Amino acid sequence: MNIVVLTNESDMARYFVNKLSFTVDIKNVYIEKKYNNFSKKQRVIKSIFGERCLEVLIQLKKVLKEKKSKVLELDKKIEKEKLYQYFKDFNEIVAMNKFDFYNINLTSTRDINTLKSDNIDILILFGTSIIKENILSLPKIGTINFHSSILPYYKGSRVEFWQLYYDDYDYCGSTVHYVDTSVDTGDIIIQEKIEVDKKDIFWDLRYKNIIKGLELIPKAIELIQKNEPTKKQANIRQQVFKGSMITEDKIKELYVKKGFII
């Protein structure tokens, strides 16, 4: 079975894929490059100085912004502390050279044909943007995704934040589901809850879900191979959460609620 992963260029994505490869036979890994998400000013800088220079400037701007804000500075500090609390092997796994991690532009016909040439049975998504039908239709069996909630509740991105914000712990967990053209609405293959402590913050839930996802994806693939039935999602009314909805004020509000002094 040809299993391919499409992910992003973060170190966490590299960790996730390398760790997953211990239990899943992965053929190739592709990194989604978001070439068309630049502003007009950024495109001018890119055309004159090159893409690498632009990426450095974007990261520098992000760092300077975080230094100006005590809230974001605290969040960044806790993110790093929690990362090494949950993933003691993080640096070791990230440094592994198991895959080439090919960059791919999903708007390029040539790159899509490269993906197509892998003769994919299952495409696994981790941390990508919304993927269009022309990519979803490539795998013979289907495209699957790991999502950080008990679907159909809390669709969208960074949803652990809202579970904590609303004290709604019933839906904290992970789901592996087939991907369709809507956001997190595909048939459920497997899902399990995670244990939540009342003191947990966003990064606790995020990293617990990543650990759970690494457990569930191999199980999901086994269920697919056995042709086990999936479960259609219940039709509920709930908004799709976006990362942009998490403002600095809301981050501060949640930290204060959890007992942090800012």
Per-residue pLDDT tens over the stretch 155-195: 999 999 999 999 999 999 999 999 999 999 999 999 999 99
Distance between CA atoms of residues 238 and 241, nearest Å: 9
**Does residue 107 or residue 34 have the better pLDDT?**
107
Assign 38 a pLDDT band (cuts: 50, 70, 90): low
Statement: residue 248 has pLDDT above 60:
yes
Higher per-residue pLDDT: 112 or 63: 112
204 and 239 in contact (C-beta within 8 Å)?
no
Encoding tokens for residue 33? 């490059």
For the cut 80, the answer to whether the pLDDT of residue 60 exceeds it is no
Estimate to the nearest angstrom the gap between the alpha carbon of 173 and the chain centroid: 14
Ordered by where they begin, the domains of the chain are: 3-34+70-257 (3.40.50.170)
Q: Is the model's pLDDT at 36 over the cut of 80?
A: no
Whole-angstrom distance, CA of residue 237 vs CA of residue 31: 33
CA distances from 237 to 38, 153, 230 (A): 33, 9, 22
Decide if 72 contacts 195 (C-beta within 8 A). no
The whole-number average pLDDT for the span 77-88 is: 97
Task: List the beta bridge partners of residue 59.
Answer: none
3-state SS, residue 181: coil
Residue 66 has pLDDT above 70, yes or no: no
Q: 96-149: per-residue pLDDT in tens?
A: 999 999 999 999 999 999 999 999 999 999 999 999 999 999 999 999 999 999
pLDDT of residue 184: 97
Residue 37 pLDDT exceeds 60: no
The pLDDT value given to residue 94: 97
The whole-number pLDDT of residue 64 equals: 63
Cα–Cα distance for residue pair 71/255, rounded to 1 Å: 9
Three-class SS state of 256: helix
The type of residue at 3 is I
Q: Kindly tell me if the per-residue pLDDT of 6 is higher than 80.
A: yes
Catalytic residues: 147
Mean model confidence pLDDT for the chain? 92
d(C-alpha 132, C-alpha 106), whole Å? 9
Q: Confidence band (pLDDT; 50, 70, 90) for 45?
A: confident
